[in-house]
């Protein structure tokens, strides 16, 4: 049986490192000898606006580089989540950085759970990140699951604020159920080769961030989550 392809779209504010995370994910899958395609959403607005990245990975040949519905939607900011709504279907899993976003308003139409890492992120988020916090937009469509991961919070408290996207990458990678953590590490190391040469500590820092995300995702997956049907009107 061929491994079915997964479609992933990641979104964030320009500078949050969305493109790097998506690129590394695709690269890692490629290194495993599987099919992979990454394309950034580029355009005149690319500076300072919302930045989207499209990734397709798996065992089947890949058709068009962009797609309508994503299996996995990863949002690092509220604005980007709004942009990502068009890619949601009943099959979609949403992962978002809950330290930057207020928890979703779960309307009757919206299905899912918020799954948090064991630490309660909200208090920290309130205290440190109020100005960066954005409201979670209403999700108009039915989706499969929603997961919140306080990546920025975790990065700031445990590692370094700059590696929030790497925590998200770790979690995203695990959710794909296609790629090994080791491959992501290798791709990440390759990508950061020059920087690591200058500052060897960076390697460990990024590996830790990856692992944090990867493990958090593992815990989130284990938590039983409701399916759409329960919430149907």
> To 10 degrees, the CA torsion angle through 143, 146, 151, 152?
70
Buried/exposed code over 85-108 (b: 16+ C-beta within 10 A; e: otherwise): bebbeeebbbbbbbbbbebbebee
- For helices 151-158 and 201-222, the axis angle rounded to 10 degrees is 140
Which region, judged by CB under 8 A, interacts with other proteins, from 61-69, 109-117, 204-212, 215-223?
61-69
Q: Can you tell me which of 20, 62, 202, 221 binds other proteins, judged by CB under 8 A?
A: 62
Number of residues that bind other proteins (CB under 8 A): 23
Beta bridge partners of residue 51, listed in sequence order:
12
Q: Can you tell me which of 20, 30, 128, 180 binds other proteins, judged by CB under 8 A?
A: 30
- For helices 201-222 and 164-176, the axis angle rounded to 10 degrees is 50
Q: Does 158 interact with other proteins (rule: CB under 8 A)? A: no
Q: Taking a C-beta distance cutoff of 8 angstroms, is the pair 135, 101 a contact?
A: yes
CB atoms within 10 A of CB 173: 28
Nearer to other proteins by Cβ, of 30 and 113: the residue is: 30
Q: Does 224 interact with other proteins (rule: CB under 8 A)? A: no
List the interface residues with other proteins, window 135-154 (CB under 8 A): none
Smallest gap, in angstroms, from Cβ of residue 62 to other proteins? 7
Q: Does 117 interact with other proteins (rule: CB under 8 A)? A: no
Q: Can you tell me which of 47, 68, 198, 222 binds other proteins, judged by CB under 8 A?
A: 68
Q: Does 1 interact with other proteins (rule: CB under 8 A)? A: no
Q: Can you tell me which of 15, 42, 204, 219 binds other proteins, judged by CB under 8 A?
A: 42
Which region, judged by CB under 8 A, interacts with other proteins, from 9-17, 27-35, 145-153, 206-214?
27-35
Measure Cα distances from 24 to 33, 87, 107, 142, 233 in Å: 15, 21, 35, 29, 40
Binding site for other proteins (CB under 8 A): 23, 26-27, 30-31, 35-40, 42-44, 61-69
């Amino acid at each position: 049986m061929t491994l079915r392809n997964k479609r992933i779209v990641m979104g964030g504010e320009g500078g949050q490192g969305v493109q790097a995370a998506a690129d590394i994910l695709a690269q890692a899958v490629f290194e495993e000898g599987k099919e992979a395609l990454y394309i950034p959403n580029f355009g005149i607005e690319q500076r300072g606006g919302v930045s989207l990245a499209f990734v397709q990975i798996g065992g089947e040949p890949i058709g068009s580089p962009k797609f309508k519905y994503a299996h996995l939607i990863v949002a690092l900011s509220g604005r980007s989540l709004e942009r990502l709504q068009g890619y949601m279907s009943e099959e979609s899993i949403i992962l978002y950085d809950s330290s930057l976003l207020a928890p979703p308003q779960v309307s009757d139409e919206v299905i899912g759970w918020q799954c948090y890492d064991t630490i309660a992120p909200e208090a920290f988020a309130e205290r440190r990140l109020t100005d960066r916090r954005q409201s979670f937009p209403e999700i108009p469509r039915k989706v499969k699951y929603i997961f919140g991961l306080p990546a920025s919070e975790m990065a700031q408290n445990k590692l370094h604020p700059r590696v929030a996207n790497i925590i998200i990458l770790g979690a995203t990678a695990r959710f794909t159920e296609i790629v090994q953590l080791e491959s992501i590490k290798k791709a990440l190391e390759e990508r950061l080769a020059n920087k690591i040469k200058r500052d060897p500590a960076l390697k460990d820092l990024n590996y830790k961030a990856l692992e944090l995300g990867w493990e958090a995702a593992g815990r989130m997956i284990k938590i039983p989550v409701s399916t759409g049907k329960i919430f149907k009107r």
